[in-house]
Amino acid sequence: MTPEERFLAKISPEPNTGCWLWSAGTIPSGYGVFGVNKKLVIATIWAYEHFNEPRNGLFVLHKCDTPACVNPDHLFLGTHRDNMDDMHRKGRENYFGRKGPAKTYRGGRSKMSNKAA
Ligand SMILES: [Zn+2]
């Protein structure tokens, strides 16, 4: 079984939002963990790098506000600052108020040289 097959066996698709909800182990913040090459990795990070591209030290953030979601289409890269902004912004939003994934992609910023780690 390839890592991708094992990964896909651990998700349960959410028909309304399109989220891939992680059904295996999670860490306390709600992010899934995935064992690959005898190491545990954060499932969203693995999904992003496997299906999209290397994250180059940036944070993998959710467009859909669902920490358990590992759908690579719902993930985007941001800096540590973006991560904080995102959490604060989402903390003020009604978690169940959205009809689907956010459509705005908050790319555009050119401050990528500020290493987030
Ligand atoms: Zn999602």
| Domains in the chain with CATH codes | 3-113 (3.90.75)
Q: How far does the centroid of ligand 1 lie from the alpha carbon of residue 95, in Å?
A: 13
Q: How far is CA 49 from the centre of its chain?
A: 11
Q: How far does the centroid of ligand 1 lie from the alpha carbon of residue 37, in Å?
A: 25
Q: How far does the centroid of ligand 1 lie from the alpha carbon of residue 22, in Å?
A: 10
pTM beyond 0.75, yes or no: no
Answer yes or no: is pLDDT of 6 > 50: yes
Residues 44-62 pLDDT 10s: 999 999 999 999 999 999 9
Q: How far does the centroid of ligand 1 lie from the alpha carbon of residue 74, in Å?
A: 5
What distances in angstroms separate CA 20 from CA 8, 82, 111, one per listed residue?
9, 23, 30
Cα–Cα distance for residue pair 56/49, rounded to 1 Å: 9
Integer-rounded Cα radius of gyration of the chain: 14
